[in-house]
Structure 1
């Protein structure tokens, strides 16, 4: 394989001497690696290790690299991982556009430019014209789209998805799967998805690793 994409090289995570995760896997640009397992098996812990925010209670080893660059010892903010969780985690005191603009790097200066970028990102996920709305007035599906727009606007090197579809109803779930995986593919982002849902894995269409079974 070329060096493009995400590489997990002999990543092992243990708690109290018990190994939870042991994985070596390459994730190509635009590909989704699905990690499945029961609650407490270490799925979210793997994302935390890759993203750089693993609780120090865990013992972990192994190398994580993106596009050939070793990021294993970088702080979380320098890894540029885009994160999506079960909850959209929108800031209630900001407008929808403010939430999205929050992800823009500091070098994008000027209120008008930052607002314009946020509006473009919202339009890109089907939320054109909703920038002035209060996040509390949005539906669950709309909130999920705002979270996706914010994540993509942060120019991530990879996406880490922690059961981001689990709180949506069946129809919305399928829409969001198609949107998230489509955007990842179009942007050439390697993705790790952790889930309980076999339908998530089927929609992702990539390799599946099962842990803790």
Structure 2
């Protein structure tokens, strides 16, 4: 995994999100490097909208005040592709036209040169999550849990400055959810970057540890 040289805290500074004149949520919080900040609430509570703001892809129909910072750097007006955010969604979203290993190679920073080196990094990433020898496999041949592990490693090899987890366990069955949750949190914390998790599941928040912010039931997009 590519490491961030100097991990910095992620701060949501007096962030208020509104839609059509109605306030969806207001949050002020900081996630330290290696720490999970959980935003918990039911479907329709605005939590995914907050994650979209943090990632830089919030629909312009929403109105936002406040700032998001990584260390002292203000990211509020920085384009999504320049924020160095790693994101895990409910679905793994693997590229079907690439092999399992190709999915991971795609995310390795361009500063890492050479086909051999990039493949080696991807193979090591797969081995770390019990998928040694899967480099040339078609993603469609993987189970749901295997796809989730590939998506996790693809995110981590990109050397993100912070991680955003959008209910990444919600579509897994109970036994697999517990196993995948433990893997994701251990790997994410080991990366030493701040993490924001949004979830409706109290078990996710308990497993994550760290601060929990509960949001209400105002409608979200």
TM-score (norm 1): 0.96
Q: CA separation in 2, counterparts of 1:201 and 1:170?
A: 15
Alpha-carbon offset, residue 13 of structure 1: 0.5
1:56-135 to 2 correspondences below 5 Å = 56-135=60-139
> Which secondary structure state, in structure 2, belongs to the residue aligned with residue 105 of structure 1?
coil
Alpha-carbon offset, residue 183 of structure 1: 1.3
- Structure 2 counterpart of 1:21, from 22, 25, 32: 25
* Structure 2 match to 1:45: 49
CA offsets 1:123-166 (integer angstroms, 9 cap, x no match)? 12221111111000000000000000000000001110000001
Moved more, 58-67 or 134-143: 58-67
> Which secondary structure state, in structure 1, belongs to the residue aligned with residue 179 of structure 2?
helix
- Structure 2 counterpart of 1:32, from 29, 36, 43: 36
Q: CA separation in 2, counterparts of 1:40 and 1:125?
A: 33
* Structure 2 match to 1:187: 191
Unaligned runs of 5+ in 1: none
Specify which structure has the bigger relative contact order, considering alpha-carbon pairs within 8 angstroms and separated by 6 or more residues.
2
> Which secondary structure state, in structure 2, belongs to the residue aligned with residue 34 of structure 1?
strand
> Which secondary structure state, in structure 2, belongs to the residue aligned with residue 4 of structure 1?
coil
- Structure 1 counterpart of 2:144, from 140, 162, 176: 140
Report the aligned-residue RMSD. Answer: 1.2
User: Hey, which bits of structure 1, 4+ residues long, moved more than 3 A?
Assistant: none
Give the number of aligned pairs: 211
Alpha-carbon offset, residue 107 of structure 1: 2.2
